[in-house]
Amino acid sequence: MQTDTAGGSNRTATFLLMVSTVLVGLMAGLFFAFDVSVMPGLARGDERTYVTAMQNFNAVIDGNGLFGTVFVVALLAAAASAAVEFRRGRRGVAVWVGAAAALYLVVLVITFTVNIPLNNELADAGDATKLTDFSIVDKFKGTWVTTNVIRTLLCTAALTALARALVLYGRATAR
């Protein structure tokens, strides 16, 4: 088993860095899939289909414990990894993982302040077959889609930072 400059095992550090990388990657992929397929596909249909589909997507995601766990643990694992790397004297790794955690935190802030409230408004609109005013769809399309692109870019940047941290970590622990 390899040890670092602090004399402890690298197992925890390795585990946290790998988990944060995989989970941020999953979130980047989810946001990207919405950007390039789900939202453009829904935009080709009528408003009722759009509302119904988005209400269903949001209900499934909101009620999915696995999604919730991945969504939150991505940040926790990255922050913990940055702290462990910093304490072990691997400052370069810690900086990149810390940057990833900060970028992902912005994703969470955007999600909780913009996307979730819009999802809730759409849910509160009720049964799409009974809607007559679809102005909520235009607002949703404009704001939600734009912030999702931003979330995708931020997650991708966080994933890139984690990839760089993995390279530096590999170099530091190979000694």
**pLDDT < 50 regions, the chain:** 1-7
Angstrom distance (rounded) from CA 35 to CA 169: 32
Q: Could you read off the pLDDT of 59-78 as tens digits, one per residue? A: 999 989 999 999 999 999 99
Q: Are 85 and 93 in contact (CB under 8 A)?
A: yes
pLDDT at 9: 60
Confidence at residue 7, expressed as pLDDT on a 0 to 100 scale: 45
Note the pLDDT tens digit of each residue in 123-138: 999 899 898 888 888 8
What is the rounded CA–CA span in Å between residue 170 and residue 7?
Answer: 17
- For the entire predicted model, the pTM comes to 0.90
The per-residue pLDDT for 6 is: 46
